[in-house]
Chain A
Amino acid sequence: GVVLRPFLVMESLDGAARTLPSIGRLSWGLPFGRAHGRCGLSPSGGLLLQKNLDSQAVAFLLRKRWALYSVTPLYKFSSAHLKAYAKLLSAYIAAEKQNGLAVEVGVELDIKVAISCLPDLKGSEQDEAAVLVQLSLRPQASQKKSEEKVVWSGWFCSVCGDDLSKNMPADFTCLPVFLANGAESYTSIVGSWFQKMFDCCFHHLAISPLNLSWMAAMWTGCKLEENASAMELVFSVPSLPQSLDISYAIHAEDAKALWDTVQKTPGEITQEEVDVFMDCLYSHFHRHFKIHLSATKLVKVSTAVASAHCDGIIKLGLSRQYFIAAFQRKLLTLALGQK
């Protein structure tokens, strides 16, 4: 199979307003232009090296809603100093709390910071191992020693592949995707600490309808379990005086049957195949309602395997088996669409 090759493209602004504040941003994506958008996964590719997979490592990822951010490379970050970083971050949070910055109730209590490495979660051998940051409530002195409750988790992961790692300048660590679960106030505190410490930038990653369609097709193609939940697409028509939301849910087996006839090579997905799949669904809808769904905005995609919202929120499915399939492809797509 063909291995995806992301590379850097400098895009210049031409006066139009952009959603990102940075000027001359880097874009990671497929080469534009002539390529037909054929991309696939080589057998050794993908996020997880299955042989070392520890179910505990995976468990914390499931059943949670993760907000996505793209991160520029970190300067002088070392996985050998994680304990030290945890101490510094802890002190920073305490200082922020004193300044009255955080308003959440939970921040009143003592926060314990743990930063660890997840060596099993990486795209390829050359990638950096994922880095997990967890904030938990330190038990009160008066309470008996009980288990610490994790109130916030965030993790960096890398899915750059060989090319990018080779091109990365020394002193820079490439961990381009950050996922956060928990209160927004914690996310901004942790994010600003990392930005100050490692001179990087966090950008909220939104997911375009184009990428959502891709995910819908990919996840629909995954092997189904018994009683898998329906494949749901949610569209929004905001331009009307009274907003309208349309939810279009297709029985999981029927959606998979349709995708299986569209997909030509197992393990590979092309943009054309995604387009045909979506067109089929749109025209089935049009036959009944005479509404052109392609003129509305696709805001959410939900399958048994995983779900994603255009605001950059993803939720991974319940089964460990699905997780492996979904996650590697999902992050690959992010690297595609990441701006």
Chain B
Amino acid sequence: MDKAVAEYIQATLKKIPRHEIKAMLQKWGLLSENELQTINFGQIKWKIIRDIFHLCEGIPGGIKEVGVLDIIYTHAYAHKRTWKAYQLLTTAEKETVFFDIRDFKKKFKRRLRLLVGKVIINFKEHEDNAIWIRIVWGTPYGEQNQYRVGYVVYHSQTPYVFISLSRYTSNLPMLCQALVVATDSHDICTMDLQGHCLNSLKDIVFKTSDQNIQTSHSEPVKDHSVEPESDLRLVDENRSSREKTQRMNQQIFGDYPLPKLEHVQYKLLTMFKSNPKQDVLYQKEPFRCLVKFSSPHLLESVKSLAATNMVDAPLSPLLTALVQRPRNHFTITEKTDSMRISESLI
């Protein structure tokens, strides 16, 4: 293994927390169990990395092997990257054909290399029918830079693909084309959904249209809504209306944990309607606004906001749309009395 490759292993190992290095190396499988035994995983991190570096130097192997270690790390730490959801569009007549993974890999590699030139591609299949693809882009000078990495997660039984490109987005069109060709689709489009939590994106995208959003391994959220009336001398005049609001919100938000979304943007292109008492603006053109909500866990915070006095019940259709069909962008236009909500495709 040449020095550059071993250095890249070092860089990858540095990212992994110390207590997980051994498990990931075992999953990687490049170093045998005997070899792993020779390393003291109790010492400080840079010494562990140094020992592994020495071991790897003696092993034949190329840059491709390191890619697999990187996929293992990224799979465990997917939340460190931003993922965007895309949908592959197929013609209606296409029957469900048995998915041939070898055919997929071959077509993907061939098309991508044709479009972009030299790239390194790793594939790894994970348990939930997800195919992880790691792509190392080349620079204009021809060399692959191990730090220009993109990831694709494709669930072969679905038309959905999740792409994480970090900063090097100029290769996105070529990547999309390669995916279209490899899957025998006729087009790909963005679902306008992005976030750090890959599992949440999957939950949002895979749910059927009628059900509430549920995560696959979750339990119903404990019901904290009923407060015991401890002191009879304290009377809550609004108790029944609050309970009614809570029930209505529960129907919208559901009982299960909500998927993690970090921000949403609404482009408002509606008319400004003033209070008749105030002698203000009358304009024929829309009042152009852009509203952004951001939070570490947006849907949960909207849910708790909806339980406060700051929000009038019933919940507005704009927020309901966010909860039921989570997206990052919405465009709102005027439609006679009501508003039309469309998910803008960017």
Contacts and interface: CB of A to CB of B under 8 A. Distances in A.
Interface string B276-301: 00111101010111111111111011
Interface stretch (A11-19, A129-137, A250-258): A250-258
Interface stretch (B9-17, B118-126, B307-315): B307-315
Contact of B305 (A258, A280, A291): A291
B293 A245 contact: yes
A285 B270 CA distance: 11
Contact of A243 (B270, B295, B302, B310): B295
A241 interface: yes
Give the interface size bracket for B toward A: 35 or more
A287 B289 CA distance: 13
A286 B283 CA distance: 19
A148 to B, nearest CB: 35
A284 interface: yes
B304 A240 contact: yes
Interface centre among B272, B275, B304, by most chain A C-beta atoms within 10 angstroms, is B272
Contacts of A239: 308
A243 B296 contact: yes
Interface in A268-291: 276, 279-280, 283-291
Interface string A104-127: 000000000000000000000000
B280 A248 contact: no
B295 A242 contact: yes
Contact of B291 (A240, A280, A289, A295): A289
Nearest to B290: A249
A290 B311 contact: yes
A247 interface: yes
Contacts of B285: 254
A288 B310 contact: no
A292 interface: yes
Contact of B312 (A240, A250, A283, A290): A290
Contact of B287 (A240, A284, A291, A295): A284
Nearest to B312: A290
B290 A240 contact: no
A293 to B, nearest CB: 8
A318 interface: no
A275 B309 CA distance: 21
Interface in A228-247: 230, 237, 239-247
Contact of B280 (A245, A250, A280): A280
A284 B310 contact: no
Contacts of B281: 257-258, 261, 280
A289 B315 CA distance: 8
Contacts of A292: 309-312
B283 A254 contact: yes
A280 B274 contact: yes
B319 interface: yes
A262 interface: yes
A244 B278 contact: no
Contacts of A247: 290-294
B29 to A, nearest CB: 40
Given A250-B289, A288-B266, A291-B311, A242 B275 contact: no
Interface string A286-320: 11111110011000000000000000000000000
B262 to A, nearest CB: 11
A276 to B, nearest CB: 6
B318 A295 contact: no
Contacts of B291: 246-249, 285, 288-289
A240 B289 contact: no
Contact of A245 (B268, B272, B294, B315): B294
A276 B280 contact: yes
Nearest to B293: A246
B277 to A, nearest CB: 10
B309 to A, nearest CB: 7
B304 to A, nearest CB: 5
A242 B292 contact: no
Contacts of B309: 292, 295
B339 interface: yes
B339 to A, nearest CB: 7
B316 interface: yes
B19 interface: no
Given A245-B294, A246-B292, A288 B272 contact: no
Contacts of B304: 240-242
A279 B279 CA distance: 13
A243 B298 CA distance: 9
B289 A276 contact: no
B310 A250 contact: no
Contacts of A237: 301, 305, 310
B167 interface: no
18 contacts: A237-B305, A241-B301, A242-B295, A245-B293, A246-B291, A247-B291, A250-B289, A254-B288, A257-B283, A261-B281, A280-B280, A284-B289, A288-B318, A289-B291, A289-B318, A290-B311, A290-B319, A295-B309
Given A237-B310, A254-B285, 4 more contacts: A244-B293, A244-B298, A246-B292, A247-B291
Interface of B: 266, 268, 270, 272-275, 278-281, 283, 285, 287-298, 300-302, 304-305, 308-312, 315-316, 318-319, 332, 339
